[in-house]
Amino acid sequence: MTEGLSVTCTRFASGIWEGEVTGAGEGRPPIEVLHGDRAVPDVRLAADETGRWRLRFPVPADAVGEGVHTLLIRNAETGETLDSLTLIGGQALEPDLRAEVSLLRAELELLKRAFRRHVRES
């Protein structure tokens, strides 16, 4: 049983995701990486000289493009999601992001006014 597995990203550069897997105990951790319902190819999991498990995989080309793409790093035995990588790209999301930033700015202004009023009254 491999309860307590966790994954921490250590580096993401040039299309390669790297991380550390802890909580595996004595054996090789049962890790899988999925994009949608498909397994990501070329996932490498190896113990380093200190006995830590290093996870490394290239981000598939079909995960880079228009829209939102999520890669899940899961415990293959339990199906528990241990970490994820989300890539967002393209022009289709620009209006959504602008609207979200606009809402955040409005909320920030509201908080600033309330804080100033509180300071003035106390």
Measured between alpha carbons, how far is 72 from 81 in angstroms, rounded to an integer?
A: 6
Measured between alpha carbons, how far is 10 from 70 in angstroms, rounded to an integer?
A: 18
Measured between alpha carbons, how far is 73 from 93 in angstroms, rounded to an integer?
A: 25
pTM: predicted TM-score of the whole model, two decimal places? 0.71
Q: Out of 3.40.50, 2.60.40, 2.60.120, 1.10.3470, select the CATH number for domain 6-89.
A: 2.60.40
Average confidence score pLDDT of the chain: 89
Reduced to 3 states (helix: H, G, I; strand: E, B; else coil), residue 51 is coil
The domain spans of the chain are 6-89, 91-122
Q: Output the six-digit token pair for 50.
A: 């200190």
Using a 10 angstrom Cβ sphere, with 0-12 exposed, 13-18 middle and 19 or more buried, the burial of residue 77 is middle
Chain segment 3-31, per-residue pLDDT in tens:
689 999 999 999 999 999 998 777 899 99
Chain segment 45-99, per-residue pLDDT in tens:
999 888 789 999 999 999 998 888 999 999 999 999 999 999 988 776 667 777 7
Amino acid at 31: I
* Closest C-alpha to 21, from 49, 54, 48: 54
Alpha helix stretches (DSSP H) within 19-93 = none
